[in-house]
């Protein structure tokens, strides 16, 4: 499986050393995500989905296999693969505006700074009224918006998100999912999201990669083409569609099988 | 400023209002509750009450003939002596000599400890190489080196500054390293995926995140500096607050000795306050209630 424009993971395995024992976290994962699409890594806890995302980011090295983005091999973190973490990752000493500008500043990207990129993305996530506020004055949802704006303002080729809304209450989480989809559609970003929530995975993803655990393997790739016939930003229509119900039940069964495996 | 700007701010405000209303109707206020927050005015008043009680007890006991006045002067006599020291005996130059020793030795200590601490706190390999060595030096009491320092450096300022340096620098290194190490991993990894190199992340994340901790560590270690100052100035010194106190002992001028103690206390408190102010003004993003 090889995609020229986009993300390509080929035969990736990861083995950890734990207490003198080698534990295989991921085994022979191959998957592709075309440019401009949203992919979701879904699976039970312990399936290694976060590890896979961190390897794509270059924060960890695969024990075996290769990862390429738009034809270039990944072996260390870089500006082309921005990551949004679950924990609050705003720099507490910087205002919202300075947080969003951080990536452009450290890269010396004067042009982007002058073109109003920072304000554009602050507006895109609806934080224009809070641009001069410090992160500690913001709610959890707003801090994640800062993180999303900061990462997108840096124009990554791939946006990586590690359970970005996992710490938020359900209502804020839904809002954030819609906000993310709107921004991503407008910017035509390529996105890979880690999630353990079936609804979130199907709502966000153009393609959902279901991983099984012990060791993590790619068990099934699920495409959500059915959403193209549904109105955008209409969660109710999405949840009531037959395709959603069918896929949700299907994935729920996959999850249940995984649970039995682990017990 | 302290209120969180929430997506559901109004709702939270209503909830908060409901809670405080309930508290108002609860009846008598409890004077002693665990981890209770108290108003600033009350804090000030209680602090002053503590001091007034102390000075009063000192005054009354000094009037009670428990000991000869020469050996146990009251607060009035000590403040008189303090005045006399400053006006008639050029005590100011002693104070300046002591302050200079503190500031010079501490600046040198910081110039050594900051780079080492940052590197040890940032890189596990540097830490592994230096921590056992620095950690062990901490347990060697600096005054134990006085005989050596006297032989190597004589009795002048160099020897005193060296003693102060030895007393502080190893603690400072370890503490600054600890502060640096506490930088959350998620901030470092965020900077990495935004394209930050090692040098940029060291300055814009690790150093910047640790800055408040550095200031606070310096504040604490300055207090330790004062402890060693007196020891340094008791041994073979001709000027400084400690030297003045040793001279006064020879002539049993207990009021002068006590005046020296008061001076050290006031100077220490002043430096401490300066650092607290710097902290509060420089790091508004931390909000209140830190340090």
**pLDDT (tens digit, 9 = 90+) per residue, A36-50?**
999 999 998 888 899
Residue among B141, B226, B195, B78 nearest A83 (CA): B195
Which tokens in the block code for residue B185?
């991993």
Instruction: Measure B280 CA to nearest chain A CA, in Å.
Output: 13
Residue among A140, A143, A153 nearest A95 (CA): A143
Contact A151 B194 (CB under 8 A): yes
Q: Does domain B96-284 have CATH number 1.10.260.40?
A: no
Q: Chain A within 8 Å of B187 (Cβ-Cβ)?
A: yes
* B283 neighbourhood in chain A, CB within 8 Å: 93
Summary count for chain A: helices (H), strands (E): 9, 10
Contact B285 A134 (CB under 8 A): yes
ipTM: 0.91
Residue among A90, A79, A59 nearest A153 (CA): A79
Probe site for chain B from A91, A105, A107, A118 (most B CB atoms < 10 A): A91
Strands (E), chain B: none
pLDDT of residue A168: 86
Which tokens in the block code for residue A130?
């809070």
Encode pLDDT of A47-76 as tens digits. Answer: 889 999 999 999 999 999 999 999 999 999
Strands of A64-69's sheet in order across:
A21-34, A6-18, A64-69, A72-73
Instruction: Measure B140 CA to nearest chain A CA, in Å.
Output: 37
* A154 neighbourhood in chain B, CB within 8 Å: 194-195
What DSSP state is assigned to residue B85? Answer: H
Which chain A residue shows the shortest CA-CA distance from B183? A91
Crossing angle for the helix pair B91-122 and B208-234, to the nearest 10 degrees: 140
Encode pLDDT of A81-90 as tens digits. Answer: 999 998 879 9
Contact B196 A106 (CB under 8 A): yes
- Geometric angle at alpha carbon B151, from B147 and B156, rounded to 5°: 95
Contact A172 B204 (CB under 8 A): no
pLDDT of residue A4: 65
Long-range contacts of range A231-237, CB-CB < 8 Å, 24 or more positions apart? A232/A181, A232/A185, A233/A178, A233/A181, A233/A182, A235/A174, A235/A178, A235/A203
Instruction: Measure A139 CA to nearest chain B CA, in Å.
Output: 5
Judge whether residue A20 has pLDDT over 90: no
Q: Give the C-alpha separation, B16 to A63, whole Å.
A: 52
Contact A138 B5 (CB under 8 A): yes
Residue among B153, B279, B159, B149 nearest B216 (CA): B279
Q: Enumerate residue ranges in chain B where pLDDT < 50.
A: 1-23, 289-291
Which tokens in the block code for residue A258?
């995984």
> What average pLDDT does the structure give for chain A?
91
In the three-class reduction of DSSP (H, G, I as helix; E, B as strand; rest coil), residue A196 is classed as coil
Instruction: Measure A87 CA to nearest chain B CA, in Å.
Output: 7
One-letter-per-residue 3-state SS of B141-203: CHHHHHHHHHHHHCCCHHHHHHHHHHHHHHHHHHHHHHHHHCCCHHHHHHHHHCCCCHHHHHH
Q: Which residues contact A45 (CB under 8 A, 6 or more apart)?
A: A196, A213
pLDDT of residue A215: 85
Q: Which residues contact A42 (CB under 8 A, 6 or more apart)?
A: A49, A195, A196, A198, A201, A205, A208, A209, A210, A211, A251
Total residues found in chain B within this entry: 291
Q: Chain A within 8 Å of B288 (Cβ-Cβ)?
A: no
Strands A64-69 vs A6-18: parallel, antiparallel or unpaired: antiparallel
Which chain B residue shows the shortest CA-CA distance from A60? B189
CA-to-CA dists, residue A231 to A185, A239, A242, angstroms? 14, 12, 15
Which chain B residue shows the shortest CA-CA distance from A129? B5
Encode pLDDT of A140-197 as tens digits. Answer: 889 999 999 999 999 999 999 999 998 888 888 898 899 999 988 988 899 999 999 9
Q: Give the C-alpha separation, A136 to A96, whole Å.
A: 10
Residues of chain A with a CB closer than 8 angstroms to some CB in chain B:
57-59, 77-79, 81-83, 85, 87-89, 91-93, 102-103, 106-107, 130, 133-139, 141-142, 147, 150-151, 154, 156, 160, 172, 175
Contact B208 A91 (CB under 8 A): yes
* B204 neighbourhood in chain A, CB within 8 Å: 102, 106
Which chain A residue shows the shortest CA-CA distance from B195? A79
Q: Sign of torsion, CA A59 A65 A71 A75? A: positive
Question: Rounded to an integer, what is the distance from CA A185 to the centroid of its chain?
Answer: 14
Domains present along chain A, CATH in parentheses: 1-80+160-169+186-263 (3.40.50.300)
Residue among A124, A187, A161, A28 nearest A116 (CA): A124
pLDDT of residue B10: 42
Total residues found in chain A within this entry: 263
Q: Is the peptide bond before A215 cis (omega within 30 degrees of 0)?
A: yes
Identity of the residue in A79, A87, A136 whose CB atom sits nearest the CB atom of B287: A136
* A103 neighbourhood in chain B, CB within 8 Å: 194-195
pLDDT of residue B291: 35
> B16 or A114: whose pLDDT is higher?
A114
């Amino acid at each position: 499986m090889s995609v020229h424009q986009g993300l390509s993971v080929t035969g990736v395995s990861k083995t950890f050393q734990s207490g003198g024992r080698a534990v295989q976290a991921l085994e022979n994962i191959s998957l592709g995500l075309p440019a401009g699409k949203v992919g979701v890594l879904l699976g039970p806890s312990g399936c290694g989905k976060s590890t896979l995302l961190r390897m794509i980011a270059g924060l960890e090295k695969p024990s075996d296999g290769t990862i390429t983005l738009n034809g270039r091999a990944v072996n260390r973190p870089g500006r082309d693969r921005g990551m949004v973490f679950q924990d609050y990752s705003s720099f507490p000493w910087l205002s919202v505006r300075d947080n969003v500008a951080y990536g452009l500043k450290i890269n010396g990207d004067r042009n982007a700074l002058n073109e109003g990129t920072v304000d554009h993305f602050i507006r895109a996530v609806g934080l224009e009224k809070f641009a001069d506020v410090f992160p500690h004055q913001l709610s959890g949802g707003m801090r994640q918006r800062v993180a999303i704006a900061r990462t997108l303002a840096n124009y990554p080729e791939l946006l990586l998100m590690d359970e970005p809304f996992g710490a938020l209450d359900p209502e804020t989480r839904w809002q954030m999912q819609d906000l993310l989809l709107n921004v991503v559609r407008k910017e035509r970003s390529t996105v890979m999201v880690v999630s353990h929530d079936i609804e979130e995975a199907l709502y966000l993803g153009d393609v959902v990669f279901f991983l099984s655990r012990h060791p993590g393997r790619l068990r099934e790739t699920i495409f959500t083409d059915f959403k193209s016939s549904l109105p955008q930003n209409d969660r109710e229509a999405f949840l009531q569609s037959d395709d959603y119900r069918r896929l949700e039940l299907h994935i729920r069964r996959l999850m249940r099988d995984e649970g039995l495996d682990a017990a | 400023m302290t209120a969180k700007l929430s997506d559901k701010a109004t709702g939270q405000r209503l909830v908060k209002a409901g809670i405080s209303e309930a508290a108002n109707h609860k009846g008598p206020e409890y004077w002693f509750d665990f981890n209770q927050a108290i108003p600033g005015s009350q804090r000030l008043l209680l602090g002053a009450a503590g001091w007034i009680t102390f000075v009063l007890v000192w005054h009354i006991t000094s009037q009670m003939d428990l000991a000869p006045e020469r050996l146990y002067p009251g607060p009035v006599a000590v403040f008189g002596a303090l005045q006399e020291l400053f006006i008639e005996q050029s005590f100011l130059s002693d104070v300046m000599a002591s302050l200079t020793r503190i500031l010079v030795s501490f600046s040198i200590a910081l110039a050594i400890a900051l780079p080492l601490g940052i590197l040890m706190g940032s890189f596990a390999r540097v830490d592994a190489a230096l921590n056992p060595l620095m950690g062990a030096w901490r347990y060697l009491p600096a005054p134990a080196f006085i005989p050596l320092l006297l032989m190597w450096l004589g009795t002048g300022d160099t020897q005193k500054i060296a003693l102060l340096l030895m007393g502080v620098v190893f603690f400072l290194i370890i503490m600054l390293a600890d502060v640096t190490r506490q930088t959350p991993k998620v901030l470092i990894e965020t900077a990495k995926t935004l394209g930050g190199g090692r040098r940029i992340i060291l300055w814009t994340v690790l150093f910047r995140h640790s800055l408040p901790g550095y200031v606070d560590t310096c504040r604490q270690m300055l207090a330790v500096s004062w402890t060693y100052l007196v020891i340094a100035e008791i041994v073979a010194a001709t000027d400084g607050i400690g030297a003045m106190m040793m001279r006064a002992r020879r002539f049993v001028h207990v009021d002068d000795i006590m005046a020296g103690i008061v001076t050290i206390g006031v100077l220490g408190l002043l430096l401490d306050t300066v650092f607290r102010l710097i902290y509060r003004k420089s790091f508004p993003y931390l909000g209140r209630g830190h340090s």
